[in-house]
């Protein structure tokens, strides 16, 4: 029944949204090239594409965040210029951003009315919003405590506040940018229930994602973007994940990594009852224990924010902790003088951090200055006890650039002028070429183009085959499954379960990621 | 006998504390508006100084203290606008902009003052209507003779100048504006997460300019108070670091209006003590040098900033120019 | 690809900033009722028109190189040291104590110890703000300013107390012995047959300043410490990842900064006054901020900017004779405007220049 009405609406005359010839460039980069798109009223339309394909830019134009260089926007068949977000809101468009635009120390109500207040005084607006929220919660399964401050809400609930904000402004068209990136599988399921609910009430939804599974499950129609262009728009029922992947990348993709079975040796890293508190005193790691052996990759899976970052920071010497960590039977200092990054490196730990632009690189430093970053004490980079040997570092960097195919191979360029993939290769080259006993690597392919992903995966596997221990943290379950030999799933600062990769599957790991207790098979 | 003497000293000290804390309160609230909106304002000092100068000039020539206040506000707002343009429109370094304006104020006031009055930077003394006079509250004389309450009301609460009462009224007003109005909601949002305001379709910049200009108004009143109430003319560098002390008080108060009032009264008390008792005798053994008592407010500022007061977390976006992310 | 060519970044943009600052200063002169072009003429003549003028110009420039370097080193670690004024003042105590402690046989022997005395005291005055910033996160801008005030009180206390010359009413120390007299430009150049003004206070401290500039360059771009300072200044989070101790870098950088500011008293206290007076720094610590900003925190740029400010200061004094309506604080106004235009309003010039170059490039392709 419901399905029939959806299909009926697909053929309606005036589309809810129509874009004609949208073009936008940032300096020399053409983010959107002559893009046209029609989305019918009362449907869920997916937009897929790789990082940097131009999805977010396109939606920011639709939301009035950027002004297009050329092109027209039609809402419900009427030409509607959208010079700013206010115009978008007036046209009935709402947006749920990937990074929530919430004021963390405001309550839910305050966030909902911000910018949509009814008068100069807050009291009446707050009262009205309270009433509206009750209605919306009942209608769309969007329950959330209106008086709670945002920082005390779970990520899933914060996202509901974003949706409520849009609905409070009476949005008919809702754009969601990578909405599941921070959600557990069960939270994501709930979200999609809400979205279908909204669609059945006549709302139009645009779902931006790079996860093909979500597209297949949740959308009615789908468009594919590649390098700023819209390469196809099809009915979801008429396509397959394989076809979409090919359209996204422009060629057949190897989704699995070729690797030999692991030849594990002795235990390199042994973690016992590790606990970490953040600066606000909240416990982020609640006593975790695991080990990693030589010649194996241990993957840490989990939804972002469940303690993986803290784990890497402790092992990498950025944060202090309590508990016990042993490397090659040597007890590490977790709080004192020798708990810093230098001491960790001296113990044979290399660390490719999750956020390379914030931690792994100095963006204004030249490539060669970055290539010795963290190892600037190494005797081979010193001319004498006081001076660094810049010539030696330059030569060393040139070699690294060659071996890791870093482009452009110019060590004198600042880090910010390299692409994401090449930046990551600079970090990887630096850390892998140290020949560490254990490599910590976080989100190795985030924001990296497909070509570089394969290369980076090969390098990690090669290091494993050379008998090194590797601790891999990734929020991409596919990446975890294709690289690691064992998987530990983190949830709420604990290890929820540990599995041999070959003996588990996505479904089981998904349940663990959601905090369910699953008996090992 | 001994006791009444001590009590009179206490009344005198409290009276002076109130007088001296006014400048700090106004400056501190100015900083509060600015920083709550995400603009760090190290230039409170300069704004007060330029305001003090022009208020003295205007009051002198017009013979009306209120015209002096208006001139002070205008001068201070001009400086605030420059700070706003530098840090909002041109995304400049807010610390550097503030420091530059402080220097500009100390230079300009003397250069212009010298050119006009040739008295080494001083302006001619203000008298009569050109200065604010003390306001006697009702019943002050009537209840003066009551014990404790009487002198407290008659000499501390009553008998202050108009701006003193104004400053103490601005404190609850600031609280109300920030926490009970749409303007305040948006202002605080802009200081915590400007993107939240921007995506709601509201101009971040306009909100920040408004905050910076309010800071200008408050610094203008503070400066005018210095020249037309606390003193009777402009003197070079007459702000003497109070703008910076106000910032320390703001941090101490964790950016909250009523706490700011308390912090400023504390600093005012300190200044009153160093003014009233420059040579404190310690049991007749040795006397604390006058330079030490003079430096006491500055030393306490450092002590307070050293964080023996718990952790102070500034508004999240403060000091950061807002640039739309790509 | 960078947005604008390097030469435009280093020379064109600062130059336009400077022109704007001077234009604004001209307006102030005009407002006082004087002719700004006459003012410029008098200033240039006063600063460069005689060996005496030149001697004063370079003498002031020496001060500004020291304080400019002090601010710049801190800037590289993203620390804003406004305390140069106080650090320089207190360093005078170090010089006075060292010089007065012995009857020095020759200046060449006294100088190294005086440098140590000045450096140690300057660094000491920067240490507490540095320590509080590093350990407790206390706002270093405010604490260094407070230490300027506290430093002034300390100087007043000492010069009215134990360091006071009993034979005078003024708050000053007794005069230094002849053994600690630093050779002036006149004394150095006379044997070479070059006649240089006898009255100008320019002395060999100028060479010390150039040496310090070279030293700072070497420190920042050749040593491991410099590498760590720059890394820390660019990204505190990344520095932590690399195992660079923030406490160590903040404190070391501020000690170096304070010591550099302290060198000013070699030039003024030892080279010119030959006794310790109360207010010998005369705002040079603040000028250092403008110098560092103008010089883009690079030692070479700082030397150039210091020369410019030396000219301004000396020319400004000459101006007082010619145009009594203008007071010496005019220099402070110009300096403030330069800080404002080069430091805070930089994008006002940079944005249009970038747009211009983009257009030029497009035109070429």
* Residue ranges making up the domain that contains B32: 2-125+139-308
With respect to residue C20, please indicate whether it lies within any of the assigned structural domains: yes
In this prediction, residue C185 has a pLDDT band, given cuts at 50, 70 and 90, of very high
C64 lies in the same domain as C163: yes
Q: At what angle do helices B257-276 and B242-252 cross, to 10 degrees?
A: 130
Q: B152 or B223: which carries more pLDDT confidence? A: B223
- Determine phi and psi for B135, rounding to 5 degrees: -105, 125
Does A101 contact B196 at a Cβ distance shorter than 8 Å?
A: yes
Interface of A with C in 30-59 (CB under 8 A): none
pLDDT value of position A4: 47
Chain C environment of A417 (Cβ under 8 Å):
1-2
**pLDDT(B310) > 70:** no
In this prediction, residue B326 has a pLDDT band, given cuts at 50, 70 and 90, of very low
> pTM of the prediction?
0.88
How far, in Å, CA of A468 to CA of A431, rounded? 13
Closest-CA residue of A relative to C223 is A387
The set of chains that have 3 or more CB pairs under 8 A with A is: B, C
Does C237 contact A358 at a Cβ distance shorter than 8 Å?
A: yes
Does C132 contact B241 at a Cβ distance shorter than 8 Å?
A: no
How far, in Å, CA of A360 to CA of A427, rounded? 7
With respect to residue B156, please indicate whether it lies within any of the assigned structural domains: yes
Map residue B282 onto helix, strand or coil.
Answer: strand
Token pair of A416, please? 């910010």
How far, in Å, CA of B282 to CA of A279, rounded? 43
With respect to residue B313, please indicate whether it lies within any of the assigned structural domains: no
Interface of C with A in 13-72 (CB under 8 A): none
Question: Closest Cα to residue A110, out of A125, A120, A95?
Answer: A125
List pLDDT tens digits, range B15-40: 999 999 999 999 999 999 999 999 99
Q: At what angle do helices B182-192 and B2-36 cross, to 10 degrees?
A: 80
In this prediction, residue B309 has a pLDDT band, given cuts at 50, 70 and 90, of low
pLDDT value of position A253: 52
With respect to residue C254, please indicate whether it lies within any of the assigned structural domains: yes
C244 lies in the same domain as C107: yes
Chain A environment of C244 (Cβ under 8 Å):
341
How far, in Å, CA of A308 to CA of A286, rounded? 12
With respect to residue B182, please indicate whether it lies within any of the assigned structural domains: yes
With respect to residue C275, please indicate whether it lies within any of the assigned structural domains: yes
CB-nearest partner of B202 from A66, A115, A120: A115
How far, in Å, CA of A23 to CA of A373, rounded? 40
CATH number assigned to the domain comprising residue B186: 1.10.3470
B201 and chain A in contact, CB less than 8 A: yes
C306 lies in the same domain as C333: no
How far, in Å, CA of A14 to CA of A5, rounded? 16
pLDDT value of position A3: 47
Cβ–Cβ under 8 Å, residues A49 and A55: yes
Map residue A206 onto helix, strand or coil.
Answer: strand
pLDDT value of position A256: 63
Does B42 contact C141 at a Cβ distance shorter than 8 Å?
A: yes
B186 and chain A in contact, CB less than 8 A: yes
C150 lies in the same domain as C114: yes
At the fourth CATH level, the homologous superfamily of domain A4-249 is P-loop containing nucleotide triphosphate hydrolases (3.40.50.300)
pLDDT value of position A7: 47
**pLDDT(C4) > 90:** no
Task: Tell me which architecture the domain covering A254-348+436-521 has in CATH.
Answer: 3-Layer(aba) Sandwich (3.40)
Tracing tokens 């993107």 back to the chain, one arrives at: B195
With respect to residue B318, please indicate whether it lies within any of the assigned structural domains: no
> Which residues have C-beta within 8 Å of that of residue C57, sequence separation ≥ 6?
C47, C48, C307, C310, C311, C313, C314, C315
Q: Range with the lowest mean pLDDT among A52-61, A331-340, B74-83, C79-88?
A: A52-61
What is the overall mean pLDDT for chain C? 92
C8 lies in the same domain as C94: no
List pLDDT tens digits, range C13-58: 989 999 999 999 999 999 988 999 999 999 999 999 999 999 999 9
C312 lies in the same domain as C177: yes
Closest-CA residue of C relative to A379 is C224
Counted domains in chain C: 2
Does C139 contact B305 at a Cβ distance shorter than 8 Å?
A: yes
**pLDDT(C263) > 50:** yes
Chain C interface mutation, best of A386, A412, A431, highest count of C Cβ atoms under 10 Å:
A386
Chain B interface mutation, best of C344, C347, C349, C352, highest count of B Cβ atoms under 10 Å:
C344
**pLDDT(C325) > 50:** yes
* Residue ranges making up the domain that contains C207: 57-321
Q: B155 or A406: which carries more pLDDT confidence? A: A406
Average pLDDT over residues C205-222: 97
C280 lies in the same domain as C341: no
Task: Give the dihedral of Cα atoms B69, B70, B71, B76; nearest 10 deg.
Answer: 90
pLDDT value of position A8: 45
Same topology for domains A4-249 and A254-348+436-521, yes or no? Answer: yes
With respect to residue C2, please indicate whether it lies within any of the assigned structural domains: yes
Chain C interface mutation, best of B291, B313, B322, highest count of C Cβ atoms under 10 Å:
B291
Measure in Å the smallest separation between the Cα of B191 and chain A Cα atoms.
Answer: 9
The set of chains that have 3 or more CB pairs under 8 A with C is: A, B
Average pLDDT over residues B233-244: 92
**pLDDT(B243) > 70:** yes
C347 lies in the same domain as C242: no
Tens of each residue's pLDDT in chain A, 521 residues = 344 445 444 445 689 999 999 999 877 678 899 999 999 999 999 998 876 788 888 998 999 888 899 999 999 999 999 998 889 999 999 999 888 999 999 999 999 999 999 999 999 999 999 999 999 988 888 889 999 999 888 888 999 999 999 999 999 999 999 888 778 777 888 899 999 999 999 999 999 987 778 888 899 999 998 888 898 899 999 988 778 877 876 655 555 677 888 888 999 999 999 999 987 778 899 999 999 999 999 999 988 888 999 999 999 999 999 999 999 999 999 998 899 999 999 999 999 999 999 999 999 999 999 999 999 999 999 999 889 999 999 999 999 999 999 988 999 999 988 888 899 999 999 999 999 999 999 999 887 776 788 889 999 999 999 999 999 999 888 889 889 999 999 988 999 999 999 998 888 888 888 777 777 65
Chain B environment of A165 (Cβ under 8 Å):
200
Closest-CA residue of A relative to B176 is A121
CATH number assigned to the domain comprising residue C96: 1.10.3470
Chain C environment of A363 (Cβ under 8 Å):
234-235
CB-nearest partner of A114 from B181, B185, B316: B185
pLDDT value of position C126: 97
With respect to residue B99, please indicate whether it lies within any of the assigned structural domains: yes
Domain boundaries, chain A: 4-249, 254-348+436-521, 358-435
Counted domains in chain B: 1
pLDDT value of position C246: 94
> Which residues have C-beta within 8 Å of that of residue C15, sequence separation ≥ 6?
none
Cβ–Cβ under 8 Å, residues B227 and B242: no
Concatenated DSSP letters of B94-150: HHHHHHHHHHHHHHHHHHHHHHHH-STTPPPPP-GGGS--EEPPTTHHHHTTSSTHH
Chain B environment of A30 (Cβ under 8 Å):
none
Interface of B with C in 107-136 (CB under 8 A): 107-108, 110-112, 114-115, 121
C87 lies in the same domain as C155: yes
Q: Output the CA–CA distances (angstroms, integers) from residue A504 to A469, A474, A481, in the order listed.
A: 21, 17, 9
C335 lies in the same domain as C223: no
The number of C-alpha atoms within 13 Å of A397 and in the hemisphere containing its C-beta is 26
- Determine phi and psi for A37, rounding to 5 degrees: -160, 140
With respect to residue B131, please indicate whether it lies within any of the assigned structural domains: no
B251 and chain C in contact, CB less than 8 A: yes
Measure in Å the smallest separation between the Cα of B41 and chain A Cα atoms.
Answer: 22
How far, in Å, CA of C246 to CA of A338, rounded? 15
Facing residues of B38 across strands? none
**pLDDT(C2) > 60:** no
B78 and chain A in contact, CB less than 8 A: no
With respect to residue B41, please indicate whether it lies within any of the assigned structural domains: yes
């Amino acid at each position: 029944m419901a399905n029939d009405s959806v299909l009926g609406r697909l053929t309606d005359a005036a589309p809810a949204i129509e874009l004609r010839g949208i073009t936008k460039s940032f300096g020399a980069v053409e983010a959107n090239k002559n893009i046209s798109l029609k989305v019918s009223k009362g449907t869920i339309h997916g937009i897929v594409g790789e990082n940097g394909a131009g999805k977010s830019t396109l939606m920011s134009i639709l939301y009035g965040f950027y002004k297009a260089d050329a092109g027209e926007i039609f809402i419900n068949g009427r030409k509607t210029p959208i010079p700013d977000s206010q115009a978008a809101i007036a046209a009935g468009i709402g947006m749920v951003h990937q990074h929530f635009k919430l004021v963390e120390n405001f309550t839910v109500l305050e966030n909902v009315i911000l910018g949509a207040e009814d008068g100069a005084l807050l009291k009446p607006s707050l009262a009205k919003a309270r009433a509206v929220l009750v209605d919306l919660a009942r209608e769309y399964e969007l329950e959330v405590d209106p008086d709670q401050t945002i920082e005390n809400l779970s990520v899933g609930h914060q996202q509901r506040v974003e949706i409520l904000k849009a609905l409070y402004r009476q949005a008919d068209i809702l754009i969601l940018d990578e909405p599941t990136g921070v959600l557990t599988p069960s939270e994501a399921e709930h979200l999609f229930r809400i979205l279908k609910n909204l669609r059945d009430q006549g709302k139009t939804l645009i779902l931006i994602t790079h996860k093909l599974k979500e597209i297949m499950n949740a959308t009615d129609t789908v468009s594919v973007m590649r390098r700023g262009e819209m390469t196809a728009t099809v009915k979801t029922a008429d396509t397959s994940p394989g076809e979409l992947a090919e359209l996204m990348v422009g060629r057949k993709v190897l989704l699995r990594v070729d690797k030999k079975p692991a030849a594990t040796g002795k235990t390199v890293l042994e973690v016992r009852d590790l606990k970490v508190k953040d600066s606000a005193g909240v416990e982020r790691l609640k006593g975790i224990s695991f080990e990693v052996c030589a010649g194996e990759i241990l993957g840490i899976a989990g939804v972002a924010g469940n303690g993986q970052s803290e784990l890497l920071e402790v092992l990498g010497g950025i944060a202090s902790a309590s508990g016990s960590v042993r490397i090659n039977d040597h007890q590490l200092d977790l709080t004192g003088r020798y708990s810093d990054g230098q001491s960790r490196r001296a113990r044979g730990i290399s660390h490719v951090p999750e956020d390379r632009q914030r931690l792994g690189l100095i963006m204004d430093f030249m490539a060669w200055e970055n290539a010795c970053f963290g190892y600037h004490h190494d005797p081979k980079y010193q001319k004498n006890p006081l001076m660094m040997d810049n010539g030696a570092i330059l030569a060393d960097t040139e070699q690294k650039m060659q071996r890791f195919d870093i482009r452009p191979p110019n060590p004198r360029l600042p880090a910010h002028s390299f692409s994401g993939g090449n930046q990551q290769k600079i970090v990887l080259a630096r850390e892998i070429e140290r020949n560490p006993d254990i490599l910590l690597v976080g989100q190795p392919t985030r924001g990296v183009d497909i070509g570089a992903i394969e290369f980076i995966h090969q390098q990690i596997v090669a290091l494993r085959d050379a008998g090194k221990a590797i601790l891999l943290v990734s929020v991409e379950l596919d990446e975890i499954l294709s690289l690691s030999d064992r998987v530990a799933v983190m949830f709420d600062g604990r290890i929820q379960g540990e599995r041999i990769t070959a003996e588990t599957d996505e479904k089981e790991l998904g349940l663990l990621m959601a905090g369910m207790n699953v008996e090992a098979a | 006998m001994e006791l009444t003497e001590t009590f009179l000293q206490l009344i005198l000290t409290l009276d002076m504390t109130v007088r001296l804390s006014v400048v700090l309160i106004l400056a501190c609230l100015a900083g509060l508006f600015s920083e709550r909106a995400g603009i760090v304002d190290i230039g409170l000092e300069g704004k007060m100084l330029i305001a003090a100068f022009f208020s003295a000039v205007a009051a002198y020539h017009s013979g009306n203290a209120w015209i002096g206040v208006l001139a002070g506000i205008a001068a201070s707002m001009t400086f605030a606008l420059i700070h706003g343009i530098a840090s909002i429109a041109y995304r400049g370094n807010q610390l550097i902009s503030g420091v530059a304006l402080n220097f500009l104020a100390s230079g300009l006031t003397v250069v212009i003052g010298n050119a006009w009055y040739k008295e080494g930077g001083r302006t001619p003394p203000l008298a009569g209507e050109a200065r604010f006079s003390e306001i006697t509250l009702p019943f002050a004389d009537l209840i003066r003779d009551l014990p404790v309450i009487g002198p407290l009301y008659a000499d501390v609460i009553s008998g202050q100048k108009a701006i003193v009462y104004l400053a103490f009224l601005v404190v609850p007003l600031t609280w109300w504006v920030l926490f009970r109005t749409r303007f305040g909601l948006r202002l605080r949002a802009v200081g915590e997460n400007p993107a939240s305001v921007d995506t709601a379709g509201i101009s971040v910049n306009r909100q920040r300019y408004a905050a910076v200009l309010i800071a200008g108004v408050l610094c203008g009143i503070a400066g005018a108070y210095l020249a037309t109430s606390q003193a009777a003319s402009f003197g070079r560098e007459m702000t003497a670091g109070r703008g910076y002390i106000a910032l320390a008080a703001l941090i101490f108060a964790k950016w909250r209006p009523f706490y700011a009032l308390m912090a400023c009264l504390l600093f005012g008390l300190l200044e009153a003590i160093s003014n009233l008792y420059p040579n404190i005798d310690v049991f007749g053994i040795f006397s604390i040098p006058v330079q030490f008592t003079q430096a006491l407010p500055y030393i306490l500022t450092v002590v307070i900033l050293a964080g023996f007061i718990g952790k102070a977390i500034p508004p999240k976006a403060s000091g950061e120019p807002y640039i739309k992310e790509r | 690809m960078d947005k604008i060519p390097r030469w435009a970044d280093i020379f064109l943009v600062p130059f336009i900033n400077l022109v704007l600052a001077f234009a604004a200063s001209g307006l102030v002169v005009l407002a006082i009722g004087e002719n700004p072009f006459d003012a410029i003429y008098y200033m240039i003549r006063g600063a460069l028109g005689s060996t005496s003028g030149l001697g004063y110009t370079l003498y002031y420039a020496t001060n500004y190189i020291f304080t400019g370097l002090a601010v710049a080193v801190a800037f590289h670690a993203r620390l804003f040291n406004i305390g140069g004024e106080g650090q320089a003042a207190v360093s005078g105590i170090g010089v006075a104590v060292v010089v007065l402690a012995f009857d020095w046989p020759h200046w060449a022997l006294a100088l190294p110890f005086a440098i140590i005395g000045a450096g140690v005291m300057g660094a000491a005055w920067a240490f507490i703000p540095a320590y509080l910033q590093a350990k407790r996160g206390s706002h270093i801008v405010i604490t260094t300013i407070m230490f300027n005030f506290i430093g002034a009180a300390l100087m007043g206390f000492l010069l009215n107390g134990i360091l006071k010359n009993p034979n005078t009413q003024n708050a000053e120390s007794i005069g230094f012995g002849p053994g600690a007299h630093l050779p002036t430009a006149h004394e150095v150049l006379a044997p070479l047959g070059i006649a240089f003004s006898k009255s100008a206070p320019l002395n060999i401290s100028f060479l010390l300043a150039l040496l310090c500039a070279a030293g700072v360059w070497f420190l920042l771009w050749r040593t491991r410490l410099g590498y760590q300072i720059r890394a820390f200044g660019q990204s505190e989070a990344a520095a932590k990842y690399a195992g660079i101790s923030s406490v160590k870098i903040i404190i070391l950088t501020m000690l170096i900064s304070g010591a550099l500011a302290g060198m000013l008293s070699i030039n003024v206290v030892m080279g010119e006054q030959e006794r310790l007076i109360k207010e010998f720094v005369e705002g040079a610590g603040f000028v250092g901020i403008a110098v560092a900003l103008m010089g883009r925190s690079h030692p070479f740029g700082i030397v150039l900017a210091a020369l410019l400010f030396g000219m301004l200061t000396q020319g400004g004094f000459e101006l007082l004779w010619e145009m009594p309506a203008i007071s010496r604080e005019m220099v402070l106004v110009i300096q403030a405007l330069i800080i404002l235009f080069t430091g805070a309003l930089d994008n006002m010039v940079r944005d249009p220049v970038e747009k211009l170059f983009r257009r030029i490039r497009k035109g070429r392709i």
